Structure 1
Amino acid sequence: MSQATKRKHVVKEVLGDFVTPAEHQQIVKVIGSRGNNLHEAVTSQGESFLVSMPTKFRKNIWIKRGDFVIVDPIEEGDKVKAEISSILYKDHIQYLQKQQLWPEGFTEEASVQEKSSKRQEKEEKDSNEEEVSDSEDDESDLFVNTNRCNYQYSESEEEEDSEEDEDEGRTENAS
């Protein structure tokens, strides 16, 4: 089987199949990557350990911090205690919640993530409505570099008064 065909089947399996964890499997949340195809994961009870990514997923599927995965335990491992068997995306998580197979410890986090994503969508929708303006002076769509300090330049009244006094003095001396 060619590499492209293998990749196609792996991606189809990950995205298309709705899997439920077996009795020996558990759902964990990835909290970081440790390199060399190892990821740090935490269970719904708060236990943290390393999980390994099998070779079929390497260079085909990417996992980021905050993703949920189903893992198979590895008995001989000291630090690496499990291997990833499947990766859960938003649709998979909703399916598991409907089947009431989702761990209670992750239920609160999932609802918070859904609320924050809905809030972001609403804010984006509101900002899109506000952007409709006829003014050419509107600079709200300009890129803002957050790595630079923002300085507010404003002239105080004292500076303006002293400049006016200097101007008046010059005109009187010129006459």
Structure 2
Amino acid sequence: MSQATKRKHVVKEVFGDFVTPTETQQIVKITGSRGNNLHEAVTAQGEIFLVSMPTKFRKNLWIKRGDYVIVDPIEEGEKVKAEINFILYKDHIRDLKKQKLWPEGFVEEPSAEDKTTKPEETVGKDAEEEASNSEDDESDLFVNTNRCNYQYSESEEEDSEEEEVK
């Protein structure tokens, strides 16, 4: 099987299937990469250990800090205690939450602002704010962190010097 065909099948399997963890499997959150296809993971109970990336995912799919995965335990491992079986994306997480299979330790609590405002009040305000701020809001734009950020500001001194020269 060629590399392109293999990649196609692996990606189709990950994006198409909705997998539920078995009794031996568990859902963990990736907290960092240690290199050599090893990733540091934390369970919902707070246990930290290393997980390995299987060969079928290498160079086909990538995971980053904050992603969730389903892992199979490795009995003989001291440091590396599990192997990644399935990578969970937003749709998979939403499906697991609907089935009530999502670990309690990973449930994100709504922020304090969301708790204090009533949904009826926010519907009217959100529509008005989105209409007025949609043109001015640039918070969702991609920011390249590899470039220096320069703050440009126009000052009155520069304007007055230009007028004097003319």
TM-score normalized with structure 1 length: 0.67
Partner of 2:12: 12
Tell me the amino acid that sits aligned with residue 51 of structure 1.
V
- Alpha-carbon separation, structure 2, partners of 1:153 and 1:129: 25
Unaligned runs of 5+ in 1: 116-121, 132-142, 156-175
Residue 32 of structure 1 aligns to a residue whose secondary structure is strand
| Structure 1 segments (4+ residues) deviating >6 Å | 122-125, 149-152
Residue 34 of structure 2 aligns to a residue whose secondary structure is strand
Structure with greater helix share of residues = 1
Give how far 1:130 is off: 3.8
Map 1:105-124 → 2, pairs under 5 A: 105-108=105-108
Cα distance change, pair 124–100 in 1 and its aligned pair in 2 (3 A): same
Deviations along 1:104-137, one digit per CA (max 9) or x if unpaired, are 000126x66xx8xxxxxx9887543348xxxxxx
- Alpha-carbon separation, structure 2, partners of 1:33 and 1:45: 20
TM-score normalized with structure 2 length: 0.71
Partner of 2:134: 128
Partner of 2:36: 36
- Alpha-carbon separation, structure 2, partners of 1:8 and 1:30: 24
- Alpha-carbon separation, structure 1, partners of 2:43 and 2:154: 48
Unaligned runs of 5+ in 2: 115-126, 138-142, 158-166
Percentage identity across aligned positions? 72
- Alpha-carbon separation, structure 2, partners of 1:64 and 1:31: 8
Cα distance change, pair 15–130 in 1 and its aligned pair in 2 (3 A): same
C-alpha RMSD over aligned residues? 3.0
Structure number with bigger Rg: 1
Partner of 2:161: none
Tell me the amino acid that sits aligned with residue 89 of structure 2.
Y
Partner of 2:160: none
